[in-house]
Chains A and B, each alone.
Chain A
Amino acid sequence: EAGVAQSPRYKIIEKRQSVAFWCNPISGHATLYWYQQILGQGPKLLIQFQNNGVVDDSQLPKDRFSAERLKGVDSTLKIQPAKLEDSAVYLCASSRGGWIEAFFGQGTRLTVV
């Protein structure tokens, strides 16, 4: 089966600009996650969707980050305005749900200058 697709792979923006990332999960996977992985650290969950509803967004900086999952399939994560500390790899993952294995995409490496 095809894996989790993310785009773009790399993005460089200036601080205060906006940026959007796109994720296409594995077909049939109801659960979709966005993680932020800062260099040298483990991934940190930003938001989790179950179909098109939000399950957990407690660690999403809602003043600048937003995410949506239209029709329970593709998802976009937006940052507006970006800060230097947002430089990280943004990983999207999907699973059938619950204990079932979550599959990760290759991520989008964001550099804010």
Chain B
Amino acid sequence: QQQVKQSPQSLIVQKGGISIINCAYENTAFDYFPWYQQFPGKGPALLIAIRPDVSEKKEGRFTISFNKSAKQFSLHIMDSQPGDSATYFCAASIWGYQLTFGKGTKLSVIP
């Protein structure tokens, strides 16, 4: 099973601050890197995704930075809000199949 390593395990950020979650992967065949957001009692929901042919993708307050040579990618949440408090999972797949998840980061945004 190919691994996706995610850090930190938990993160506490002040409201208005920047939340940064990092992931690293091993398999260079991965070609799709989504981030999922999961609230308690709910299934994961796609937040934002990137392909390895671009180095950055931004959607609103959420940005993925991708470093192909280092085999790393990260999620930045700008102007973090209490409503962003959730568990975030990075994932990687080949052609969108065999989605492999990281272990998750529990984000708490405090007022």
Given the complex of chains A and B, what is the CA–CA distance between A87 and B97 in angstroms? 25
Contact call A98/B95, Cβ cutoff below 8 A: yes
Contact call A102/B46, Cβ cutoff below 8 A: yes
Given the complex of chains A and B, what is the CA–CA distance between A68 and B67 in angstroms? 39
B96 contacts the other chain (CB 8 A): yes
The interface residues of chain B, by DSSP majority, are classed as strand
B1 contacts the other chain (CB 8 A): yes
Q: Which residues of B contact A97 (CB under 8 A)?
A: 96
Which of the segments A13-21, A43-51, A75-83 contacts the partner chain? A43-51
Contact call B44/A43, Cβ cutoff below 8 A: yes
Interface string of A95-110 (1 = CB under 8 A from B): 1011111111111000
Tell me the chain A residues, 56-94 only, with Cβ under 8 Å from chain B: 56, 59, 91, 93
Tell me the chain B residues, 12-71 only, with Cβ under 8 Å from chain A: 32, 34, 41-46, 49, 51
Contact call A56/B97, Cβ cutoff below 8 A: yes
Closest to B91 in A: A42
Q: Which residues of A contact B102 (CB under 8 A)?
A: 42
Contact call A95/B41, Cβ cutoff below 8 A: no
Contact call A107/B43, Cβ cutoff below 8 A: yes
Given the complex of chains A and B, what is the CA–CA distance between A71 and B70 in angstroms? 43
